[in-house]
Amino acid sequence: MNVTYHPLGDQAVLIHFKQEVSSEVLAEVQCLKNEIQQAQPDWLYEAVPGYASLTVHYNLTQLLQKEDPYAYVVSFLKEKAAGVKTGGNFKQRTVKIPVCYGGDLGPDLEEVAKHAGVSTDEVIKRHQNADYTVYMLGFAPGFPYIGGLDPTIAAPRKDNPRTAIPAGSVGIAGKQTGVYSIETPGGWQIIGRTPEKLFDLTRDESFLLRAGDRIEFYAITEKEFEEWQT
């Protein structure tokens, strides 16, 4: 596994993998993250995965007895990376997400269909039938960047972003799909909305999704959407 290590401030190490968005790199990132977390060093805050990177945050006060805390952490990370096989596998959860497509909940569905040269029903069908994986969380708490979108329904971001997009909105931006975890401004093409809460501080796990999860979208009616929220 070919990776490089870089300091990120005084309490983090940024690990760069091969700079591409692919299932192979995703597997390497997840496998190394799991190796680090399973070791449970007392100085570890968290390991945060990106598309082709892993940021390891550490507690400097736990390492003050070391001559060079950064070098010590990097040495530990290199040892863990040596045990990760290129093209290795990792355990994935499958999370099913209901979506009410179109109408007021998916105001850009027709625009996406027009851009793709297909019907709105075909956009919905293709959006549901793709093989999706969460590559990373970012932008807002619990917001998933999901790869695997059918390229035939890829669509550019809006020229003029909206000032407020409701939580649960399902959108397309380029070759990605995503779900707004909280209400925020944004420029993704909104094709539907899920009643599921992706970010909820009252749950034991605040984030519904994790990097590495497989996602299955399925269609529900507007009535089902409303009943889900009651």
Question: Per residue in 190-215, pLDDT tens?
Answer: 999 999 999 999 999 999 999 999 99
Query: Is there a contact between 145 and 177 (Cβ–Cβ < 8 Å)?
Result: no
pLDDT tens digits, one per residue of 74-97 = 999 999 999 887 666 778 899 999
Residue in 136, 134, 145 with CA at minimum distance from that of residue 176: 145
d(CA 28, CA 63): 27
Over pLDDT 90: what percentage of the chain?
90
Task: Give the pLDDT confidence score for residue 87 in this predicted structure.
Answer: 60
- In the chain, the N- to C-terminal Cα span, in Å, equals 49
- Comparing 20 with 230, which gets the higher pLDDT? 20
Residue 122, helix vs strand vs coil: helix
**β partners of residue 44:** 58
Query: Is there a contact between 135 and 145 (Cβ–Cβ < 8 Å)?
Result: yes
Quote the pTM value.
Answer: 0.88
Residue in 139, 132, 171, 128 with CA at minimum distance from that of residue 26: 132
Beta strands (DSSP E) in the chain are: 4-7, 12-16, 44-49, 53-58, 94-101, 132-137, 144-147, 162-165, 169-173, 176-179, 184-186, 189-193, 214-219
Tokens 């995503």 identify what position? 178
